[in-house]
Amino acid sequence: MSTYALYTLRDLRVTGERQAEQALAQAVAAVRRAEAERDRLAAKVTEARAAVAGARATPSPALTVADALTVRRFWARLEAEAQAASDVLERHRTTTLAAALQAEVAARASHLRARQRREVVDKAIARREAQQRQERQRREEAAADDLAQRRKT
């Protein structure tokens, strides 16, 4: 492969590596957004559970059966809201967050492969340049030897 072809291939590999870096940055940003949403949903679950605990801890002077039923319906509604918030959090963890984490892992692997591919070309270029330097040095030494031979004769 010619040196020109190697440099062209390296340019293509560098472009691929930069694209992989951008994809990785986007995947990391998506994970951060998903984690922020998870934290927001977890706070909502905590608030809902605190509301249930607070409602149950508050003594309610139930004067009639209707009042007692109203209090129980209120507790049931608070518990349903807490359960719904918990379900939303779990669904977010298993879908959105899990997908974002998988995308990040895939982007990291893709970036690693792109970097390794570029490094292979960089090493080939370095070997080619070292070989060219050695050949140039040999030619210079041979020319110097020839010059020395001519001077002796």
How many structural domains does the chain have? 1
Structure tokens at 67: 């009042």
| Burial tier of 138 (Cβ tally within 10 Å: 0-12, 13-18, 19+) | exposed
Give the Cα separation of 115 and 106 in Å (integer): 14
pTM equals: 0.75
User: What CATH code is carried by the domain that includes residue 49?
Assistant: 1.10.287
pLDDT tens by residue, 38-89: 999 999 999 999 999 988 888 777 678 888 888 889 999 999 999 999 999 9
pLDDT of residue 32: 97
Average pLDDT over residues 131-147: 90
Residue 16 has pLDDT above 70, yes or no: yes
**148/19: higher pLDDT:** 19
Q: Where is average pLDDT lowest: 60-64, 94-98, 108-112, 135-139?
A: 60-64
Per the document, the length of the chain is: 153
Q: Model confidence at 143, in pLDDT bands (50, 70, 90)?
A: confident
Mean predicted confidence (pLDDT) in 122-147:
91
User: What average pLDDT does the chain have?
Assistant: 92
Query: How much of the chain exceeds pLDDT 90, in percent?
Result: 74
| pLDDT value for 73 | 92
Q: Per-residue pLDDT for 92 more than 90?
A: yes
What's the confidence (pLDDT) of residue 145?
A: 84
Give the whole-angstrom CA distance, residue 34 versus residue 28. 10
Residues spanned by the domain of 120:
3-152
